[in-house]
Amino acid sequence: MTAIERYAAPQNLDEALGILQQGEVTILAGGTDLMPQTKAGRIAFKPTLMNIGRIAGLKGVTLDGEHLRIGALTTISELLRDPLVAQHAAVLAEACDHFASDQIRNAGTLGGNINNASPAGDTLVPLIVLDAEVELASKPNGSVATRRMPLAEFFTGPGRTKRAANELLTAVRIPLPKPGHVARFYKFGTRPALDISTISIGIAGIKRDGALTDTRVAFGAVAPTPVRAPRTEAALEGRRLDAAAIEAAADAARDEVNPIDDVRASAWYRKELIHNMTRRMLDHVAHA
């Protein structure tokens, strides 16, 4: 049974943050996670339901100095078609191409995918390897305050983040890639469409003289949150991508993750996939 007492549809950020500050608010954007989860009883509506869909300032992709800034309300379909994303964060668009179905992509937003904080969230792993930050706004004492945080540090558990109850995730900022930047994403599902990741892998870095530096490796669906893989990164950092380095990195990746058994896969199989597909992706990076 729903317990919504008030519906709010603010037109601007200031108004939205004011409503949030009053407390007990459920935020609605695309609704593609919120609706099924409330229906299934996994989350309960708070007394105020706030639809942020009319806040124009939360939409769109722009260049902001040395950063690509993606508004939280940008839909997955818009990310797929956006020329700036294609130019500066192609791996994010690639992940969006494996995201649910067209209908869900048309409604679901980037901010929603991040705040849903699923360990299998499709955009999270590529954003982490792109060093994305989230921008959080609040209005604690009458004026708007903003803070930023690396996405890799944002998640605290399944469905849980460091966003405070009075904060709204307004945008994602991605540093523009440096020369030689490569990034790859792989999602394993048992079918090509409409699937939840069994595991996902993101790899990025600066490739120079056959070696990776500034290496970023992240995995989805192998822990309570999407995770960076520091030992795998260390195994790769600065090393020439030859067969031995790739195998060492793949081994490190398998040892580093600690997935669970569930209805989609066993922990053992997830570790095997992490190993085999990290190796395959690094092979591709090496030969690209």
Partner 1 sequence: MNVAEKPVIAPDSLIGQRIQKKDAPEKAAGKTRYIQDMVVPGMLHAKILRSSRVHARIKSIDTSAAKALPGVHVVLTAADVPDQQPIGVARDHLPLKGERVRSQRDEIAAVAADSEEIAEAALKLIRVEYEDLPVIATPEDAIKPGAPLIHPAPLDADGRPQALPPKTPIAFAGKADNIAMRFDYTHGDIAQAEAESDVVVEDTFQLHYVTHCCMGVSGVIAEFDASGNLLMYSNTQVPFLHKREFAEYLNIDPSRVRIIQPPIGGGFGSKLDIYPFEVICIFLARAAKRPVKMVFTREEEFLASPTRQPVLLTLRSGCKKDGTLTFRQVHTLHDNGAYTSWGATTPFVMMQTFSSLYRVPACDYHTTVVYTNNPYAGSFRGYGNLQATFAIEQHMDMLAEKIGMDPLDFRLMNAQDAGEVTGQGMTFKSCGFKECLTTAAERSEYRKKHADNLANRDAPGPVKRGIGIASMLHVGGGAKIYPSDGCGTILKLDDFANVTLITGASEIGQGSETVLSQLVCEELGLPISAVTVVNNDTAITPWDVGVHASRTTFIAGNSAIGAARKAKAKILAAAAKKHGCDEVELDLRGGFVIRADSGEPLVELARLMRNLHFSDKAELVMTTFYYEPPSVHQDKAFKGDVSAAYAWAAQVVEVEVDTDTGIVKMTKVTGTHDVGRVLNRLGLEGQIEGGVVMGQGYALTENLIVENGITRNPNFRDYKLVTAPEIPEMDITFVESMDGEGPQGAKGVGEAPAICIAAAAANAIYNATGVRIFALPFTPEAVYRALRGAAPKPHWQAWKPE
Q: Which residues are near partner 1 by CB under 8 A?
A: 1, 188, 190-196, 263-266, 268-269, 272-273, 276-277, 280
Least Å distance, CB 40 to partner 1, is 10
Least Å distance, CB 117 to partner 1, is 18
Least Å distance, CB 34 to partner 1, is 16
Least Å distance, CB 193 to partner 1, is 5
94 vs 131 by CB, closer to partner 1: 94
Least Å distance, CB 191 to partner 1, is 6
15 vs 269 by CB, closer to partner 1: 269
Helix axes 267-287, 243-256, angle to 10 degrees: 150
Strand order in the sheet with 181-188: 181-188, 199-208, 211-220, 227-228
Least Å distance, CB 199 to partner 1, is 10
CB atoms within 10 A of CB 28: 19
Least Å distance, CB 288 to partner 1, is 18
In the block, tokens 């604690």 appear at 140
CB contact set of 251 (below 8 Å; sequence gap of 6+): 235, 275
Nearest to 265 by CA among 201, 222, 232: 222
14 vs 195 by CB, closer to partner 1: 195
41 vs 65 by CB, closer to partner 1: 41
Rg of the chain on CA atoms, in Å: 19
144 vs 260 by CB, closer to partner 1: 260
1 vs 288 by CB, closer to partner 1: 1
CA distance linking residue 136 with residue 134, whole number of Å: 6
In the block, tokens 């996994």 appear at 42
263 vs 288 by CB, closer to partner 1: 263
CA distance linking residue 183 with residue 5, whole number of Å: 46
51 vs 276 by CB, closer to partner 1: 276
Q: Are strands 6-8 and 48-51 parallel, antiparallel or unpaired?
A: parallel
Cβ-contact 155, 246 below 8 angstroms: no
Least Å distance, CB 264 to partner 1, is 7
Helices (H), ranges, the chain: 13-21, 34-39, 76-81, 83-88, 90-96, 102-107, 110-116, 124-129, 230-236, 243-256, 267-287
